[in-house]
Amino acid sequence: MSLNTNTWNRLRYTLYLPVYDLVADRIFRKYRKRSIQLLAANPSDNILLLGAGTGLDLTYLHGFHNLTAIDITPGMIARLKQRAESLHLPVRAEVMDGQKLDFADNSFDAVILHLILAVIPDPVACIEEVERVLKPGGTAMVFDKFLPNDQKPSLLRRFFNQIASTLFSDINRSIGHIISYTSLRQEVNEPAALGGTFRIVRLRKP
């Protein structure tokens, strides 16, 4: 039975807080920047950062003034608010479950999902919520680790995933499978960190 639940994620990311920025920023900063460049958003766009962590993406959103950030971990949101203040960015930040968004349909021009779809307990519920809150024509930017869509995990990989999904994130998820439950279309799917194990994906709501 998987420990990947909201309760466990809230606990483990609270424990990871002292070293989170050291790992998540140094390794992934150029991919965060690239993803936001590919978003090609306007400063006036209403943008949701889902699973925003400590707000490492905010560095690349200078000049934007309709930003909303959510995360399941209160400590992460507290750090994000501090970062937003230091960057002089107006951000509405809330503790919220990314699988059950407390926003109206068609609320956002864009949603940023960096390093969350491989972590959140139910990525399909999450992406369905993203589709719901996106405006028609809206964009979602995903940066995360995924299996190639035509590859099935080996028995050994499935075994190690029990450990990985408990401590860090799921290593066996497929972006094609996840979005197949929605009408979202892939416009970009390019390799990123670790030789393409991580991908940057741009999705569009019809």
Tens digit of each residue's pLDDT (9 = 90 or more) over 73-125: 999 999 999 999 999 999 999 999 999 999 999 999 999 999 999 999 999 99
Indicate left, alpha or beta for 18 from its phi (over 0: left) and psi (-120 to 50: alpha).
alpha
Query: Considering the domain boundaries, does residue 78 fall inside one?
Result: yes
Counting the structural domains of the chain, the total is 1
Query: Considering the domain boundaries, does residue 1 fall inside one?
Result: no
**Residue ranges of the alpha helices (H) in 134-187?**
155-167, 175-179
Mean pLDDT of the chain: 93
Rounded to 10 degrees, the C-alpha dihedral 148/149/152/154 comes to 10
Query: Considering the domain boundaries, does residue 170 fall inside one?
Result: yes
Tokens of 90: 């107006």
Domain that holds residue 27: 6-204
Query: Considering the domain boundaries, does residue 165 fall inside one?
Result: yes
Residue 1's pLDDT band (cuts 50, 70, 90): very low
Query: Considering the domain boundaries, does residue 55 fall inside one?
Result: yes
Residue 140's pLDDT band (cuts 50, 70, 90): very high
Looking at residue 80, which CATH number applies to its domain? Answer: 3.40.50.150
Distance in angstroms (rounded) separating the CA atoms of residues 24 and 107: 28
Among residues 126, 123, 131, the alpha carbon closest in space to that of 147 is found at: 123
Instruction: Say if residue 126's pLDDT is above 80.
Output: yes
Distance in angstroms (rounded) separating the CA atoms of residues 92 and 167: 29
Query: Considering the domain boundaries, does residue 118 fall inside one?
Result: yes
Better pLDDT: 22 or 67: 67
Amino acid at 87: L
Distance in angstroms (rounded) separating the CA atoms of residues 169 and 194: 15
